[in-house]
Amino acid sequence: MNEAKVFISLKKLEKSELRRFRKFVRSTYFNKHKEVIRLFDYWDQSSERHFQAEKVFAHLFPGQEFDAKTLHHIKNYLLEVLEKFLALEDWQQEQNRSDIHLIRAYRKKNLLPAFEKNLKAAQKNLEKNSLRNAQHLKQKYELELEQYDFSLSQGRNAIFNLQQLSDTFDIYFIANKLKTACLLKAHQTVVKNEYKTGLLDSVLHFIKNHSWLKHPAIGIYYYAYLALSEPDESAHFFQLKKLIFENTALFPSKELRDIFLLGINFCIKKLNIGEDAFLNELLELYETGLNSEIFLENGLLSPNTYYNINLVGLKAKRFDWVQQFLDQYKEHLPNSIKENTYNYNKSIYYFRKPDYPKAMELLRSADFDDPLHNITSRTMLLQIYYELQEEDALHSLLDSFKNYLYRQKKLGYHKERYLNFIKYTKKLLKLNFYNKKEVNIFKKEVETLGSISEKQWLLKQVEIFKRKD
């Protein structure tokens, strides 16, 4: 039978969660069906992970005729218990959520002393919490709302916190509106889609030069949005960077990583249009993020982030720093791809340094499963052979590289770019550098060709020959 949704979901539980669920499923408060416990135990104790319906039913109801409908119901009951468990686990991770629900319960029971005691305790705990992100502002608003609802129940003579209620809601709303606006703006550049932004213009106009910009969750996303919207105004980025560095400890790691990426993407766009001054800004963001461990998720560093930091460090010619980074963070790469990812990035490091013998040693021995990594490694090897004048190896690689590209079915636009690179590398090998007309035709063709890899390297070879000559 197709694997049941409940079994798929159970597989996702971590070991510690599974231990807690074993107790949870036996609680009669959450589960009143003994067959559900038996079904879970059958799954939990079995080495199998794909079950035959008839076999499962026979275990639950020995001697009874198979009934698919009954088994379906039991699996659904187990799924319901699991969903309650997951919701409760998530709820318990946010201390303030349980505080608010308890406060609300006391308010509904009209238990004034208990309500006031727990409200004050929750407010104190919230202020002691080091985070000052949008979630913090939301919790602050919810506590003000509970205070207002309680005052409302006390009659006309009660003291109302209407101003605080209004202000905390506005601050919470504006912080989330700006955060969402940044997400829309960043995504819009990727998918080329236009999003409606609702009240955003009014929000931007309202908070300009407003004291609420002092709230990190507002100030950071305000300047991030301006940087994304007005990339020519670099002052927005520098104000964003200042606020990020001043308030690093006030955001949870995941959100802080997203904030850093807003600044990183701004710098990358600047570099792409030739503003090389932003290279050091980009590297500083990466270094600060590494020191704060925000790029690590469950102790792991994304291979893409590893690769991007490598390239940025090499472009800045920080070779000693890059070598230390590659070696140190190798241990934070996923085990399944650790060696290949490390060798691939190390080969780029040696190529850019340059240390061609060490680069060739890695490139010749490595087996890169990722087609783009494979292509990049062949490209580096090709350039090394050219610059070391190893013509036989170069011609052999050009032919095998071309055949490899034709065999790949899912390269998209990359196939054309690298086929053109091979084509013009062959032309470069045949080029009569003493024939000025022939050289100029070559240069013009390369310069005007839109889809070609390593364009600057091809043009550089002509310039190198001219300088030698």
Amino acid 2: pLDDT:
53
Helix 303-315, helix 338-352: angle, nearest 10: 10
Sole residue written with tokens 């997951």: 86
Do 74 and 100 lie in a common domain? Answer: no
The residues, ordered by sequence, that sit 6+ positions from 406 with a Cβ below 8 Å of its Cβ are: none
Residues 385 and 459 in one domain: yes
Q: End of a domain among 173, 203, 230?
A: 173
In a domain, 104, yes or no: yes
Note whether 460 and 375 are same-domain residues: yes
Smallest CA-to-CA distance from 258 within 244, 242, 246 is with 244
- Write b or e for each residue in 80-99: b if 16 or more Cβ atoms lie within 10 A of its Cβ, otherwise e: ebbebbeeeeeeeeeebeeb
Q: Does 272 map to a domain?
A: no
Assess contact for 420 and 451: CB atoms under 8 A.
yes
Bridging pattern class, strands 300-301 and 296-297: antiparallel
Whether residues 160 and 66 share a domain: the answer is: no
Q: Show the low-confidence residues of the chain (pLDDT under 70).
A: 1-3, 49-50, 95-96, 156, 190-191, 465-469
Same domain, 78 and 129: no
Say yes or no: 105 and 75 in one domain.
no
- What does the mean pLDDT of the chain come to? 91
Three-state DSSP at 65 gives: coil
For residue 446, being part of any structural domain is answered with: yes
Last residue of a domain, one of 173, 192, 211: 173
Asked if residue 19 belongs to a domain, the reply is: yes
Domains held by the chain: number: 3
How many residues would you count in the chain? 469
pLDDT at 1: 41
Rounded to 10 degrees, the C-alpha dihedral 413/305/296/277 comes to -140
Can you name the residues that pair with 297 across neighbouring β-strands? Answer: 300
Please indicate, yes or no, whether residues 385 and 409 belong to a single structural domain of this protein.
yes
52/102 same-domain check: no
Same domain, 424 and 442: yes
d(CA 444, CA 427): 13
In a domain, 49, yes or no: yes
Same domain for 77 and 108: no
Domain hosting residue 106, numbered range: 96-173
CA distance linking residue 340 with residue 303, whole number of Å: 10
For the four alpha carbons of 165, 171, 174 and 177, in that order, the dihedral sign comes to negative
317 found inside a domain: no
Are the beta carbons of 283 and 318 closer than 8 angstroms?
Answer: yes
- Indicate whether 107 and 48 sit together in one domain: no
Q: Within this chain, do residues 55 and 110 fall inside the same structural domain, yes or no?
A: no
Among 92, 127, 147, which residue terminates a domain? 92
Asked whether residue 82 is domain-assigned, the answer is yes
Reported pTM: 0.81
H or E element in which residue 296 lies:
strand 296-297
Q: Are 442 and 427 in contact (CB under 8 A)?
A: yes
In a domain, 416, yes or no: yes
Cβ-based neighbour number of residue 450 at 10 Å: 8
pLDDT at 467: 57
Q: Yes or no: say if 216 and 259 are a contact pair by the CB < 8 Å rule.
A: no
- How many other C-beta atoms can be found within 10 angstroms of the C-beta atom of residue 340? 17
d(CA 21, CA 40): 10
